[in-house]
Structure 1
Amino acid sequence: MNLYQQPYNLRNRITIQKKVESTEPFQSLDDYEDHIKLWSEARFLRGRNFYNARAANVKTDVEFVVRYRTDLKETMRVMYKNRNYEIEGIIPLDNSNSFLMIKAYEIKYDM
């Protein structure tokens, strides 16, 4: 039995947001609307995995494991605990297409 087939592992609520298409001549960079809310497992990289990702010039800070879906795109973003994460990649976790891993990094604004 796969570790992720246990329902208690997907206990973090995330919101997937998609960019709002605007017909105005000047479009704001922060126009997103909620697309769907999902249960996931949030894994924050730390230690060796974090430094290996940075050494390979990958910005991944967190990995979200969700049930398999076909409507997720890398142009969307994840909101988790009032923080926004830019999606870096979406990959299947296993060959049976039961789960997806969303690799993301936190969006930090310089103000």
Structure 2
Amino acid sequence: MLNDMRYRIQFQKKKQTGRLPVDGKDSWETVIECWAKAEGLKGREYYAAAAIQKEKTIKFTIRHREDINEHMRIVFENKVYEIESILPNYSRRHFLMVKANVVS
């Protein structure tokens, strides 16, 4: 599994730059950078995603971390991905599976 983790991804969280929350001047800062396995959806997962127009979903497999949540985003190969879900990998307990959609 570790040999497949050949891509560098960044987890970013929103950082507020204005004094008021309504300023709308939010920026993103990188809080975590790690190695990941990136793969597209296959089979049943792909057709289920295509039914709701989310064909651009990627599954990232990373080492288990506690400091990741759905409010973050992922930067992978200069594209921004919105995190859809974070699931433990039950076959290999030291890993997490993160499903993310490309932001257009």
Amino acid at match of 1:106: V
Higher strand share: 2
CA distance in 2, matches of 1:58, 1:19: 26
Number of residue pairs aligned between Structure 1 and Structure 2: 101
Alpha-carbon deviations, 1:17-75, whole Å to 9, x = none?
Answer: 1110342341235x1101111100001125653222232x3736100000000000100
The list of structure 1 runs, each at least 4 consecutive aligned residues, that deviate by more than 4 angstroms after superposition, is: none
Give the Cα–Cα distance (whole angstroms) in 2 for the partners of residues 97 and 82 of structure 1: 29
Q: Which residue of 2 aligns with 1:71?
A: 67
Query: Gapped runs of 5+ residues in structure 1?
Result: none
TM-score normalised by the chain length of structure 2 = 0.84
SS of residue matched to 1:73:
coil
Q: Output the amino acid matched with 1:98.
A: H
Alignment identity in percent? Answer: 36
Matching of residue 33 in structure 1 with residue 29 in structure 2: yes
For the pair 1:10 / 2:5, whether they are aligned, the reply is yes
Q: TM (normalized to structure 1)? A: 0.79
AA aligned to 1:27 is G
Match of 1:104 among 79, 100, 104: 100
Alpha carbons of structure 1 residues 91 and 28: separation in structure 2 relative to 1, 3 Å: same
Tell me the amino acid that sits aligned with residue 33 of structure 2.
K
**In 1, distance between residues paired with 2:83 and 2:10?**
12
> Are 2:79 and 1:83 equivalent residues in the alignment?
yes
Aligned to 2:57: 61
> 1:12 and 1:93, CA in 2 relative to 1: closer, same or farther beyond 3 A?
same
